[in-house]
Amino acid sequence: MSELALDDVKDRLFREARTANGYTDRAVTEDVLRALYDLYKWGPTSTNQQPLRVVWCIGETAKGRLADLCYPGNAEKVRGAPAVGVFGMDLDFLRHLPRLFPHVDARSWYGDDRKLIAESAFRNSTLQAGYLIVAARLLGLATNPMSGFDEEGVNAAFFPEGNVRVNFITTLGYGDPAAVHPRAPRFDFDEVSRII
Amino acid sequence: MSELALDDVKDRLFREARTANGYTDRAVTEDVLRALYDLYKWGPTSTNQQPLRVVWCIGETAKGRLADLCYPGNAEKVRGAPAVGVFGMDLDFLRHLPRLFPHVDARSWYGDDRKLIAESAFRNSTLQAGYLIVAARLLGLATNPMSGFDEEGVNAAFFPEGNVRVNFITTLGYGDPAAVHPRAPRFDFDEVSRII
């Protein structure tokens, strides 16, 4: 990879990348969602647990159902986006570990500690969502992650099986550069980091 | 960015990237840690809260102190790595919002709900850690994130100010390709995703 391309990538993924407040009309197809998965799935999780579960809403009915469970500002964003991901975490991820982490019995490390298991599912599904947000940018997409919605309502509507609970949601599409807000400030390195 | 470069980036960040189980002797310098920050800091967080606080251990004393608080297998990894990041979350992030999210009073959205505030700090510091893991790969670095340590001991030793609590830790360095484990399996798209 040439230095020029590396610099372009830094811009695309981080330095110039922006949360979208509006999208072009270009649809997010199933092929794109599968290509996105084929990138973010490779990011690391504790004991390879991969607890993230995603319901992608691309139909108007699905988006409307989700929007009805969102706080007002977020509801508009959900209705107006090409796609919306509902990110859940599987609290029963342990049952998959013999297949996902076959070389050792990692289930015993969690024991029956429901708090530890829920915390681990929350942490690792969030990490996967972070990988997804960056991977989306690599594919030319933008996101707008959100937390303001009726959690119990979303669980009942999108994860009725009971073992999955919603973490957060995000819109997804091809960002409209004209709809971006001014960039908000970031901490300086020394305010949030120490080297010892 | 040419298609060839884009494909290289997909490999470097996701498809061919691996968690390191050993590192070369090359040091992780302060300049590199600052360059890493200047990438991952741009990733989005709720109300731009940026709750991640990192203590980078690069000295032998610091790494030894952390290793003594880790479970046995992790202790060896910590001692043997060029750098180790202790990732904390600032539970008092609200006090910075007038500066970080100046256009609206977002503090009122959280109210006095300590559970909501702690959950938001956990989610958003984890997202930032996810951005960091991918950004490290862009700089040619590798990580090995870990959760097995004495949480209260790490809080007391690395975040004595009290408002920051540890989330997880990771080693950081230039990965030794010879020390990589065989790749563990990933779920198929249809096992963990639905499109509606």
- The answer to whether A131 faces chain B, any CB pair under 8 Å, is yes
The dihedral through the CA atoms of B68, B69, B73, B77 has a sign that is negative
Distances (CA, A) of A86 to A129, A156, B189: 10, 12, 15
Condensed to tens digits (0 to 9), the pLDDT of residues A163-188 reads 999 999 999 999 998 888 889 999 99
Q: Order of strands, edge to edge, in the sheet holding A193-195?
A: A193-195, B52-57, B83-90, B164-173, B142-146
> B29 vs chain A: nearest CA distance in angstroms?
10
CB contacts, 8 Å: B89 with chain A: none
Condensed to tens digits (0 to 9), the pLDDT of residues B8-67 reads 999 999 999 999 999 999 999 999 999 999 999 999 999 999 999 999 999 999 999 999
Question: Hey, which bits of chain B come out as E strands?
Answer: 52-57, 83-90, 142-146, 164-173, 193-195
Question: Hey, which bits of A34-163 come out as E strands?
Answer: 52-57, 83-90, 142-146
Compare all CA atoms of chain B with the CA of A103 and give the residue at the minimum distance: B184
Cβ B135–A62 below 8 Å, yes or no?
A: no
Q: What is the mean pLDDT of residues A59-78?
A: 97
Cβ B30–A134 below 8 Å, yes or no?
A: no
Token digits of residue A106: 């990692």
Domain limits of chain B? 23-174
Question: What is the pLDDT at residue B157?
Answer: 98
CATH assignment of B23-174, given 3.10.580.10, 3.10.129.10, 3.40.640.10, 3.40.109.10? Answer: 3.40.109.10
- The answer to whether B137 faces chain A, any CB pair under 8 Å, is no
The dihedral through the CA atoms of B47, B14, A179, A168 has a sign that is negative
Would you say residue B1 has pLDDT above 80? no
**Measured between alpha carbons, how far is A157 from A165 in angstroms, rounded to an integer?**
11
Would you say residue A25 has pLDDT above 80? yes
For the question of an ipTM over 0.95, the answer is yes
User: B29, B39, B42: which to substitute to probe chain A, counting the most A Cβ within 10 Å?
Assistant: B42
Look up tokens 């709750």; give the residue. B51
User: A8, A41, A151: which to substitute to probe chain B, counting the most B Cβ within 10 Å?
Assistant: A41
Amino acid type, A186: R
How far, in whole angstroms, is CA B50 from its chain's centroid? 12
Would you say residue A1 has pLDDT above 70? no
Kindly report the pTM of this predicted structure: 0.98
Beta-carbon contacts of residue B115 (< 8 Å; ≥ 6 apart): none
Cβ A12–B5 below 8 Å, yes or no?
A: no
